[in-house]
Amino acid sequence: MKQILPITLLLLTATAANLSCAEDLGVKAQTYALDRDAGEQIKDVMRKKQASGELDQFWKNYRDRTIASIKNPPSLGIRSDYTARTELRELRFVVPSDYKDQDGRVIVKRGTVIEPLKIMPLTSGLLFIDGNDPQQVAYAVRRSQNEPLKIVLTAGSPYLMRIKYRNVPWHGGMGVPFYFDQRKMIISSLSKLYGVEINSVPAALVQQGDKLAIQFGMGVSN
């Protein structure tokens, strides 16, 4: 008991000393104002940009760039070659496995041969040209007036071409339609699905009997 009492007194003394030196954090601690809602801050920024005209200028520039890209899309980089040659493709596909509906019934059996041109013949072919080449444009207009062909540009402006040829007679109407292969979607699909490579223009895709003919150049060659 004699040994425990001094130790207890020592601990109590030390504790009392610490308490006497302790700060009242509840009174002296620094306080901070809460930030405004982030959404309100963004609105303030947008109001300032609107007032200065910066926001209107941004949307005008965006609109002008979008219209310019539609009127004058970048070239697909496909070379021109006037040499006439024709490639014939027999489009036949063998179904690799059974195709079933949602109820598990087989609707197309494995090994079935599918010939797309027999199921759905082409009602209109495609004629790819460089719209910046007047010779190719004249050839495409002349040929597509006599055949069911859609003119697809790989370079040049379909918008300006439509304006230029808006008064040209076209299959009972007026105005020659021109299209552009945006992001090479048509050419890439032909390569992926059918193994058809459009590596030069002019190039026409037409049906000959039960085969697909890819006609390069400005003439028809077999």
Over residues 64-88, mean pLDDT: 86
Q: Which domains does the chain have, with CATH numbers?
A: 79-90+116-216 (3.40.30)
The pLDDT assigned to 24 comes to 47
- Which has the higher per-residue pLDDT, 131 or 19? 131
| Per-range mean pLDDT, top range of 6-20, 30-44, 89-103, 189-203 | 189-203
- What gap in Å lies between CA 170 and CA 148, rounded to an integer? 11
Residue 18 C-beta-side C-alpha neighbours within 13 Å: 6
Q: For residue 31, what pLDDT band results from cuts at 50, 70 and 90?
A: low
CA–CA–CA angle 66, 151, 80 (5° rounding): 90
Choose between 181 and 8: higher pLDDT: 181
pLDDT over 90 at 181, yes or no: yes
